[in-house]
């Protein structure tokens, strides 16, 4: 078999694979413009019901409020998580101490604890301090994760120690070294952590559904769940909400995909 024929089969296989991978997204976008009758009949071309579906989810289910709540929670959680976890990972790797490895092992044990097992203690704790139905209750339990600390620690192994020594000689304190030297050099790792944290926070359902009691505080996953529990489901409105819920994470990943790959490769190399 010649090389051209072999490459031709490979390209055909990749095209077919891409089609099956992208078809659900295409079907979601097209169905957001159709009515329930058109969707159930298997229509695969854009329709004219987009504005009607948008009116339904805006007036009946507070789409804009849910989008704002999801964006606010995900943004605040991502910002705080990146700062806290990067400081922890930096400290675990840069500062030498015999006991830090023991502490790191204890932190990594947290990766094996499922969220469902600590829901009841967390709920009682936030209930006693009066923080139910607040943004703080949504983001505080996941503001620091063992995975992100481990990611920053692994990537910090490639951070040049000479920079730290030179900065100390120039009179910079540890906080200035972290913000002025460490953070700019570790941009790929921050992009990786931002992508993972934002997507997890945006798609979070279990814990927000437990602590958020008011419809005005609902996020997109919770609103989607309520849309799908009615006696009569409007598939056009549901798929429009799914589209609005999916696009932000796709945009974030596309903007940061190059740095995301470099950050993951750096963690493996470290």
Answer for the pair 182, 159: CB distance below 8 angstroms, yes or no. yes
Look up the pTM and report it.
Answer: 0.84
41: how many CB neighbours lie within 10 A of its CB? 9
Tokens standing for residue 78: 């991502």
Q: Cα 255 to chain center, whole Å?
A: 14
**Which of 102, 101, 85 has the alpha carbon at shortest distance from 152?**
85
The CA distance from 244 to 227, in Å, is 14
49 close to 236: Cβ distance less than 8 angstroms: yes
What DSSP character marks residue 113?
S
Q: In angstroms, rounded to a whole number, what is the distance separating the alpha carbons of residues 154 and 86?
A: 11
Per-residue model confidence as pLDDT tens for the chain (270 residues): 577 777 788 889 999 998 888 898 899 999 999 988 888 888 888 888 888 888 888 888 888 899 999 999 999 999 999 999 999 999 888 887 778 878 888 888 888 888 888 899 999 999 998 888 888 888 998 898 888 998 898 888 888 888 888 888 888 888 998 998 899 888 888 988 999 999 999 999 989 999 988 888 889 999 888 887 767 788 888 899 999 889 888 888 888 877 776 666 655 444
């Amino acid at each position: 078999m010649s090389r051209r024929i072999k490459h031709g089969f490979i390209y055909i296989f990749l095209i077919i694979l891409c089609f099956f991978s992208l078809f659900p997204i295409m079907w979601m976008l097209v169905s957001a413009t159709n009515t329930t009758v058109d969707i159930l009949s298997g229509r695969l071309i854009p329709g004219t019901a987009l504005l009607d579906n948008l009116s339904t989810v805006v007036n009946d289910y507070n789409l804009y409020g849910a989008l704002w709540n999801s964006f606010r929670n995900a943004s605040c959680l991502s910002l705080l998580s990146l700062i806290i976890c990067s400081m922890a990972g930096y400290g675990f790797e840069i500062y030498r101490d015999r006991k830090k490895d023991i502490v790191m092992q204890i932190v990594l044990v947290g990766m094996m604890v499922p969220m469902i097992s600590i829901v009841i203690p967390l709920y009682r704790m936030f209930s006693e301090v009066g923080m139910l139905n607040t943004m703080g209750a949504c983001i505080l339990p996941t503001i620091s994760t063992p995975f992100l600390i481990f990611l920053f620690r692994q990537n910090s192994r490639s951070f040049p120690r000479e920079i730290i020594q030179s900065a100390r000689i120039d009179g910079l304190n540890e906080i200035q070294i972290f913000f002025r030297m460490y953070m700019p050099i570790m941009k790929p790792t921050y992009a990786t952590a931002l992508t993972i944290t934002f997507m997890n926070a945006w798609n979070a359902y279990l814990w927000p559904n437990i602590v958020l009691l008011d419809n005005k505080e609902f996020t997109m996953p919770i609103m989607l769940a309520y849309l799908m529990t009615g006696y009569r489901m409007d598939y056009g409105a549901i798929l429009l909400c799914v589209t609005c819920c999916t696009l932000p994470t796709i945009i974030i990943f596309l903007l940061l995909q190059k740095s995301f790959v470099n950050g993951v490769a750096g963690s493996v190399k470290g």
